[in-house]
Amino acid sequence: MKTLSYLIILVSLTILISCNKNDTDEYPNPNPNVEKYIELLKSNQYDSLNPPAFTYIDIPALLKYRNETQTITNFPHNGISSLYAPECTLGMYVLWTIESIRAVAINSNYLIMRFPSQNPILSLRISDELILVYTNESHQIAAKAYYDWWENNKHKSFNEFKNIDPLKSTNYRWH
């Protein structure tokens, strides 16, 4: 019995010692930093099914990319949406990522996993019908709204302004 115990310990130690410590490099970090996230989105290599678990601390770094117009095709989609958008501009996706941070912080009723809405697409707020908007002008308005929201409030505690919808003064909302 003693010999069997020694054999099990020896085999276990051998397995542990022979493990390649760099094997974990094959698997992407489920929560990359903002620069790595942007790099992966730009190269269409972001392969997680969920947006990263960023916090309000990441918002300034994300805002740097708010005006990017590069089309991306490999990004997390909200699985419950019946609309599948195969592509999106990087800047719009970054704004949706910021909205995800805000939605998680306020425990939004629209939050599904870390998705703040069904899609990273704007729709008209003033219409009873669902009218999706994909224009450069709407993107610029949304980018300015998020930038102004952050710049006007960044000196406060995030808890003091997380409930303010950055798009409130625009004609848009998230779909």
- What does the pLDDT average to over 6-28? 41
User: pTM, whole model, 2 decimals?
Assistant: 0.81
Domain ranges of the chain: 31-174
pLDDT at 27: 31
Average pLDDT, the chain: 86
Give the closest residue to 143 by CA, choosing from 122, 158, 162.
Answer: 122
Half-sphere exposure of 9 (CA within 13 A, CB side): 6
85 vs 90: which has the higher pLDDT: 90
Give the closest residue to 37 by CA, choosing from 83, 106, 101.
Answer: 101
C-alpha torsion angle, residues 164, 96, 70, 34 (rounded to 10): 90
The greatest distance separating any two alpha carbons of the chain, rounded to the nearest whole angstrom, comes to 78
Most confident range (mean pLDDT) of 6-20, 60-74, 112-126 is 60-74
pLDDT in tens, 123-166: 999 878 889 998 999 999 999 999 999 999 999 999 999 999 99
Confidence bin at 111 (pLDDT 50/70/90) = confident
Residue 18 has pLDDT above 60, yes or no: no
- Number of other residues whose CB lies within 10 A of the CB of residue 81: 15
Structure tokens at 100: 């995800």
